[in-house]
Structures are given as structure tokens and as C-alpha cells.
Amino acid sequence: MPQGAGPNADQVAHWNGPAAATWVAIQARLDRQIEPIGRATMDALAPGVGDRVLDIGCGCGASTLELSRRVGAAGEALGIDPSGPMLDVARRRATEAGLAQARFLEADAQTHAFAPASFDKAYSRFGVMFFADPVAAFANVRRALKPEGRIAFLCWRTPAENPIMSLPMAAARPHLPAPASPPDPGAPGPFAFADRSRIETILARAGFADIGVVAHDEKLTAGPLDEAVDTALRMGPLGSFLREHPEFKAAVEPAVRIALAQHQSPRGVFLDSATWIVTARNSTV
């Protein structure tokens, strides 16, 4: 989609640049890691055969494909995302799987002019924390839902509760320069929805009712140790830092390896995750 304009221009550029390159490169292992918690969220939404479902921030499309299987050929799963490179992967996977009812749209969910009341349900796996104006974005999605239409999404709780995201940076910290002042906790980014009351306020202002915010705790696989180290150096807060400062990679890698090795089992490295599974209903009747 056109970059350099719109309220989410910075995020659109980010998700068409290095972040997209990383997700595309290690898509299979990221899908394996977060599939169980994405599935729990989809079960909470319970898409039915024939439903038309919107997948917000669908990325490389794993969840859109699963939604399209659940709604069947009589339904439709539409993945919306501003990342061209990630949607290229999603489209290829849908074609390979023969899922014609999985479709994709390169656009910003905050501003796209959806046909009003055209979806039965909306879903997101970690795709709703990047809006500059979350109330406007969720109001836009709500208008796209039919009256009484439901949404379910998955988002991270705090970094401290999520070693899967924060342990590599904690291990690397002694080898890095002192961090700049801490970012605004509500700023667009993976942890923007860590505060449960913020989620409830945003959804209520956007016109949703019956808002449920349920804590979900689950150990997630990071794969064999070598793979876990590689992922840790490319993803999350440490991966973002190293993309801008690759000169620190050699210094931090041994510390990250030692920290991850402490969570190794015969089945690989497993780390705690802490998420919210959020559900709500369009209050329009």
C-alpha cells in the first residue's frame, strides 16, 4: 500500500521493511510458536460454517487460512494487512492450500473503507496493537461488523510476564549501553495492550459491549537451542535493537544462549507467555 502517508505511516513503513523481512524469513517457526494461543483465541470466537470473517493484521496468513477452513467454501476469511511482503506469503500459501475463500487486502484496518455491516466476526492474532488511534481503528472495525457481530483478539500482557519476548533482552542488557528513557507503555507496539483497563476503555469507546478480557498463560516452544538463539537475536525487543545496532550481536549472543539453555528440555526450549484473550460484541442492534 502507499507508504509515507496516513495516521499509521511509521508502522506501515516498519511492516514493509525489516520487520516484514524477519517475519517472512522465519514464518514457519513463528507460526509453530504462537499457533496454540492463536487457536485458543479462535475457539473463543467460534467462527461458523458460512461466516464472513475479518482477520486484522493477518501478516503471513496462517490464521486467515485456519479461519477459511473453519468457515468453509460457503464463507470467506479476509485478511487485512498493510505489509506487502507478508501478504505475498499469505496469498501464496492460500493458493497452495487451494483455499479460494481465503482472500487478502493490502490496507490499514484503522482507515480502510469497509462495506458497513459486512462481516459476521473479526479476529486478530497480535495484529491490533499497532494503531496510532486505537479507538478510531476499533470503531472502524466495529462498523464493518453486522449488528451483534463479535470480535476476538490476542495481545501480549507486560514484558515482565513474557519471558518468551523479554528474556533475550534481559540477558543481553549487561552488554548493551544504558537504554534511553522508557517508551510510553501505550505507544503502538507489541505491548500497547498490556493494560487490561486500557483495552476495556478503548473497546467501550469504539462501541463494543460484553467486553471480556481473559488472562491466558502458556509455555511456548522456541525450538531447539540453536534455533531459539537465532530467533531471539532477530525478534522481539532484542531483535529490534540489533537490527539498528548489529555491532552488539557478537557480544550478546553467549549471554542469550546461556539464558535460553536454562529453559531447555528434551523437546527443545520452552518459555512462559502471558496474553489476554479479548472478546466483545458490536453493540449496534
Which residues, numbered 127-166, are part of the site for ligand SAM (CB under 6 A)? Answer: 127, 130-131
Cell readout for 182 is 522508557
Q: Which helix (DSSP H) or strand (DSSP E) does residue 250 occupy?
A: helix 249-261
Residue recorded with cell 496474553: 275
Q: Provide, rounded to whole angstroms, the least separation between the CB of residue 83 and ligand SAM.
A: 4
Binds ligand SAM by CB under 6 A, chosen from 41, 45, 57, 234: 57
Q: Would you say 37 or 269 has its CB closer to ligand SAM?
A: 37
d(CA 283, CA 285): 6
Among 126, 129, 156, 128, smallest CA distance to 141 is for 128
234 is a site residue for ligand SAM (CB under 6 A): no
Paired sense of beta strands 145-156 and 268-282, if any: antiparallel
Residues near 162 by beta carbon (within 8 Å), at least 6 away in sequence: 156, 272, 273, 274
- Interacting residue with ligand SAM among 37, 71, 77, 80 (CB under 6 A): 80
112 versus 175: smaller Cβ distance to ligand SAM:
112
Q: Taking the complex as a whole, how short is the minimal distance between the CB of residue 255 and ligand SAM, in angstroms? A: 25
Query: If binding means CB under 6 A, how many residues of this protein chain bind ligand SAM?
Result: 24
Q: Under a CB-based contact definition with an 8 Å cutoff, are residues 82 and 104 in contact? A: no
Stretch that binds ligand SAM, among 44-52, 119-127, 162-170, 233-241 (CB under 6 A): 119-127
Q: For residues 114 and 52, give the distance between their C-alpha atoms in angstroms, rounded to a whole number.
A: 13
Under the binding rule (CB under 6 A), the answer on residue 275 touching ligand SAM is no
Q: Does 62 bind ligand SAM (CB under 6 A)?
A: yes
- Give the position of cell 487457536: 39
Check binding of 239 to ligand SAM (CB under 6 A).
no
List the one residue out of 53, 40, 62 whose CA is nearest residue 277.
40
Does residue number 82 form part of the binding site for ligand SAM (CB under 6 A)?
yes
**125 touching ligand SAM, by CB under 6 A:** yes
The stretch near ligand SAM (CB under 6 A) out of 74-82, 166-174, 176-184, 233-241 is 74-82
Interaction between residue 41 and ligand SAM (CB under 6 A): no
CA dihedral 27, 32, 37, 38 (to 10 degrees): 50
Q: Closer to ligand SAM at the Cβ: 108 or 120?
A: 108
Closest CA to 42 of 77, 83, 12: 77
Contact residues toward ligand SAM (CB under 6 A) are 8, 11, 15, 34, 56-60, 62-63, 80-83, 86, 108-110, 125-127, 130-131
